[in-house]
Each structure stands twice: as C-alpha cells, then as structure tokens.
Structure 1
Amino acid sequence: MRYRKLENSGLKVSEVSLGSYLTFGERLNEEESARVIHKAFHLGINVFDTANVYQSGRAEQIVASALKSFPRNEYIVATKAYWPVGNGANSRGLSRKHITSQVEASLVRMKLDYIDIFYCHSFDTETPVEETLRTIENLIMQGKILYAGVSNWNKEQLEEAVKIADAHLWRRIIVHQCEYSLIKRDIEPEIIPYSKNNGISQIVFSPLAQGILTGKYNKLIPKNSRATNSNTNKFFNRLFTKGNLEKAAQFESVARELGLTLSQLAISWVLANKNVSSALVGASSTQQIEENTSSILEEIPEDVMRKIEYIFNRKTHLQD
C-alpha cells in the first residue's frame, strides 16, 4: 500500500480507503464487517469512512468497534453530518447546533475522543458558510476534530469556504469527497484545478462507477447486489446504460493486457490524477478488498492511457 498526503496538511492517507455505505450493518452483520475491516487494515488501508446517517449510526458503531483492537494512531476515522437524523427543525444541515450535536453523538457512538476527518456531507443553502466554518474551527480547537472536509461542493462553494477561512485566519478545509470515475468526470474542469491551487485534496467515492467498472453486471443486475437496493438505484441507474457497459467491456480488454482486473485498472486510473489522494471503495468480502488493494499501478503507461481515453472519448487525463 502506498500513501499520499492530504494537501496543505501532514496527514498521510492510504491510496485506497474503505467505506461503509450500505455494507456494514446492512449487507454485513457486525462479525462479517469486522472481518472485512481487519483485512483492510492488515492490507495497509488506514482510512475508514462512515457517516452519522449510514445505517442510522450503526455503521459508525461497527467501524469503530472493529478498529478498537488496533493502535489509535495507526488509523483514520472519517465521518460526516448534514442529512436528517430526525424530524425536528434543527435535525439536519450545517448549523452550529446540528454540527455540534452530531459530532458529540458520533463520538459517543464510536467511543472515540476525536474524529480524524469531519466532512460537511453536503452544502447547506440555509446556513451561512461562516457559521459552519466557525463551528468546525471551534471543534478543532477543542480537540474533537483534527481535520475538516466537505463533500459534493461545487467550485464556487469551495472558493467561498477558502476565502472565509483565510479572512478569519481559520484552518482551511483540506479534503473534498466526491464521486469520480472514468464514467463520472464532472470534477475535472473546475474543481480539480481550483483544489490543486488551494491545497485541497480529493478522496473520491464510486471509482468503480457503482460496480459497472467491475464487469460483474454485464447486461444483467445480479440478485442481492448493491444495485438492487432502493437507496442506490438513483445513483446506479444514471450510469447503467448500454453505452457504458460497452465501454466497460472494451476497458476490460485493456486491463487484461496488463494482467489486471477491470477494477484494479479503474482504481489505478483514478489515482493517476495526483490531486486524488485516495480512492474510496466498499467491500462485502475480504476477497473484494484484497482485489481492490492489490496490483494498483504507480503509473499508467502513456500508450495505455491513450487507449483508455479513446474508449471513453474524453480529453487527456490530468496527471500532474
């Protein structure tokens, strides 16, 4: 396993991170989840990602419980808040009240003294960004959060956050979590260039395009797969097209030429962008996490990169 720094910080993260959305506490019970988490740790993964709303807080509990047997300084726990956790008027968003209560609740659930990375799980149009950032700065000063991040913000929102932090001499956000894959490349034109210039790294989810870049779907959706879950259909259906399946089939032939699986080359491609510090994957078995952490290329040959870009009909991939 190789490690990369989150920009504008000294924090080193594994090139592959393990997520818990729709797996720990839903598809897998606590014992099964622990086996996957322990395997990931022994393979060198040091970032374990969760959120207060994943499985209604159960994912946080399972992740933290499984990691308790390892030294606290050797792993990074990332969690998030924004989405509703109740029916009250202040049970969602990025207000001082909601963030403070959710950080406290997450710490209690996970039995931790601090959260390594806290993400704003979406952008809140109803709360001033200054209020959100001031709250996070206060929690960092209290030692309850070490680093701040955001998820699914656009370039203008990132820019506002940087300007406000600088104006108040607060710590900047250092990481943006977003979707990124060969099939979903929205962040390339604006977010990546802005982030590179302002010390913000990307930790990207769905590098395998909701499983399409694993080859497992072909033309049918297997029973009991993540794609059959009603919570993922809205994401999966956007990508599950005939054209994308055809591209995935061509991409798989390129991977075979390199002696890699489709998944391994897809993750290698995401990591070829140096603004991406880590690819966030899910896993429902120890075999899956082992495949997704092995044979990741440190550099993709130029001729292979050209083949990949030809298949997906896009401009040259950003590698600097």
Structure 2
Amino acid sequence: MDYRYLGNSGLQVSEITYGNWLTHGSQVENDTATQCVRAALDLGITSFDTADVYANGAAETVLGEALKGERRESLEIFTKVYFPVGPKGRNDTGLSRKHILEGIDGSLRRLQTDHVDLYQAHRYDRFTPLEETMQAFADVVRAGKAFYIGVSEWTADQIRNARALAADLGVPLVSSQPQYSMLWRVIEDEVVPTCEELGLGQIVWSPMAQGVLSGKYKPGEDAPAGSRATDSKGGADMIARWMTDDVLTRVQDLVPIAGDLGLSMPALAIAWVLQNPNVTAALVGASRPEQLAESVTASGVTIPDDAMARIDEALGDVVTRDPSLTARSTPTKR
C-alpha cells in the first residue's frame, strides 16, 4: 500500500481508502462488514470514509465497532455531515451551526472515538450563509473533534469561497470528495485546477462507476444476480446511467488493455483515477473481503501514457465531461 499527503496538509492517508456507503448497515450483514474492515487493515488500508446519513447512522456504528481496539493514532477516519439523519426533522439536515455541532457529536458517539481526522461537508448548503457554516467547522476543529475539514461535490466557485473563509478562520480545508472515474470526468476542467491552486486533494468516490468498470456487465445480457444493478434498495438507480449497450460495449474494449498491463478491470479503473496528480485517494467498498485484495493491487501502479491514450480511444464519446454537472449536486431544497 502506498500513502499520500492529503492536499497540502501533513496528513498521510492510504491511497486506497475504504468507504462504506452502500454496504455497512444496509446491504451487508454486520459480521461480514467487520470482516471487510479487518481485511482492509490487513492489506495496509488505514483510511476509512463514512457519513452520518449512510443507513441513517448505522454505517458509522458498524465501522466504529469494527475498528474498536485498533490503535486510534494509526487510523484516519473520515465522516460527513449534511443530509437528513435521525427522525429527519427541520434541523436534522444542512450545514447550519446547529446541525454541524450536533452532527459531529452524533458521529463521534457512533464511531466510538473522540475525534475524526477529516470532517466533510457532504454537499453545499445554499440555505445557510457560508460564513455560518465555516465558523461552525472552525469551532469543531478548535474543540479537537476534527483535525481537518473537507467538502464533497462542491463546485470550483464554492470551494474557492470556502477556502478564503477557511484561511481567515485558520481552518485546515484540505480536501474535496467528488465522483470521478474513466466514465465520469466532470471535475477535470474546473474543480481539479482550482483545488491544485488552493492546495486541496481529491478523495474520489465511485472510481469503478458503480461497478460498471469491473467489466462484469455485458451488453445484451442480464445483470448478474446479486449485483448492484439488481439492487432495488438504491443500487440499481445509481448505476442506471451506465447500463446501456453503448457504454457496456466500450467498457469491454478495456479488457485487453487491462490484460496487457497485468491488471484486473477493477484494478485498472482504480489505478486510472490515481494517475491524476490531484487525486490523493480512491474510495473503494466491498461486500466480501476478497474484493479488497483485488482493489489494492492498484496501489503503486503507473499506467503508461500509451495505455492512457488507448483507454481514451476505447471509451470515446461515452465519457461524461460537462463541468456544469457538479452544480447539480447542490440540493435545491431541504
């Protein structure tokens, strides 16, 4: 496992980071989830990403239990705040001072720790003054409940404004957590250059495009039983945009490229996002421990320029690049 500095901070994280968005507390039994966390630790993964909204707090609870007994100083634990939690009352969502200060306490209780290494704004809140949000994050940091601050799915302008306030408040805003993969490159034109300028690193989610880049979905064939594309609890909705014959055919054209590099298709997808110098870590999940062993083979891999060009040629016009799509992640109502 290789480790990288997060943005321009002194915090090192594992470049393969374990995320438990669609698994812990919902799709995977708790004992299996614990086995996945133990496998991650055995493979050298020290960074773990979750959020209070995942399974309405259950994902944080499962992760906290799975990490109990580990040396806290040897781990990097990330969580996020924004979306509705608990009974989902009027103030159980957003980035108000009330929700952030109550949210961090709830997360720490579920994670069984007195601090998180990175506390992230899960989305931008257009209904709360940014000054209020950043002051609340500053107070969380000064209370020792979080060491660093990050954002997720914020536009370049939103990041720039937050970074200016963070500098005034002395808050270490060091990261952005966007979706990024061979098929979804909307951050490349605006978010990445802005973050490079301001010293933020990317912790990217869905590097395998919800599993499509694993190659297991074939054009003209039914999705494999038990796969995300058959998950009625939300997985099928997330992957639907990629489940067209055109996309799936192009993805199959990546198989010989992966073979020439001695990589599996999942490893190729993860290694590809890690080629971007602004990407600090790729988030990977697992429903079985053995999946992680395949994912971590991407660590330390350098894809040659000619192979990167072959990937671009193979995928062609099925790649989504429109930078304006990031703004669509900002909720329009509470």
Out of 260, 263, 284, the position equivalent to 1:257 is 260
Residue ranges of structure 2 left out of the alignment (5+ in a row): 320-334
Q: Is the 8 A contact 2:108 2:116 kept in 1?
A: yes
Q: CA RMSD in A?
A: 1.6
Q: State whether residues 265 and 297 of structure 1, in contact with CA within 8 Å, keep that contact through their aligned partners in structure 2.
A: no
Q: Deviations over 1:240-273 (max 9, x none)?
A: 2222111110111100112211111111110000
The match for 1:209 is 209
> How far did 1:179 drift?
0.4
Aligned match of 2:185 = 185
Deviation at 1:87, TM superposition (A): 3.5
| Alignment partner, residue 80 of structure 2 | 80
**Unmatched 5+ residue regions in structure 1?**
316-320
Query: The residue matched to 2:77 in structure 1 has which SS?
Result: strand
CA distance in 1, matches of 2:201, 2:239: 25
- CA offset at residue 233 of structure 1? 3.2
- For residues 48-63 of structure 1, what are the structure 2 equivalents within 5 Å? 48-63=48-63
Q: Is contact 2:118–2:149 with CA below 8 Å preserved after alignment? A: yes
Aligned partners of 1:226, 1:115: CA distance in 2, in Å?
Answer: 30
Q: Percent identity?
A: 39
Deviations 1:113-166 (A, max 9, x none): 101111111110100111111001111001001110011101111011012223
Q: TM-score, normalised by structure 1?
A: 0.95
* Other structure's SS at 1:78 match: strand
Relative to structure 2, which stretch is displaced further, 24-33 or 46-55?
Answer: 24-33
User: How far did 1:297 drift?
Assistant: 4.8
Paired residues in the alignment total 315
Asked whether the 8 Å contact 2:180–2:273 carries over to 1, the reply is: yes
Contact 1:265/1:296 (8 A) holds in 2: no
Q: Could you say which residue in structure 2 is the equivalent of 1:198? A: 198
| 1:66, distance to aligned residue in structure 2 (A) | 0.9
Q: What pairs up with 1:65-76 in 2 under 5 angstroms?
A: 65-76=65-76
Superposition TM-score, scaled by structure 2 size: 0.91
Q: Which amino acid aligns with 1:27?
A: Q
User: What is the distance in 1 between the residues matched to 2:136 and 2:300?
Assistant: 40
Amino acid at match of 1:214: S
Match of 2:314 among 311, 315, 320: 311
Decide which of 265, 281, 285 is 2:284's aligned counterpart: 281
What CA distance in whole angstroms lies between the structure 1 residues aligned with 2:103 and 2:166? 22
Matched residue of 1:117: which SS?
Answer: strand
Distance in 1, Cα, partners of 2:60 & 2:166: 29
For structure 1, which segment, 195-204 or 226-235, has the greater mean C-alpha deviation from structure 2 after superposition? 226-235
Distance in 1, Cα, partners of 2:240 & 2:113:
37
Of structures 1 and 2, the one with the larger relative CO (CA 8 A, separation 6+) is 2
1:237 is matched with 240
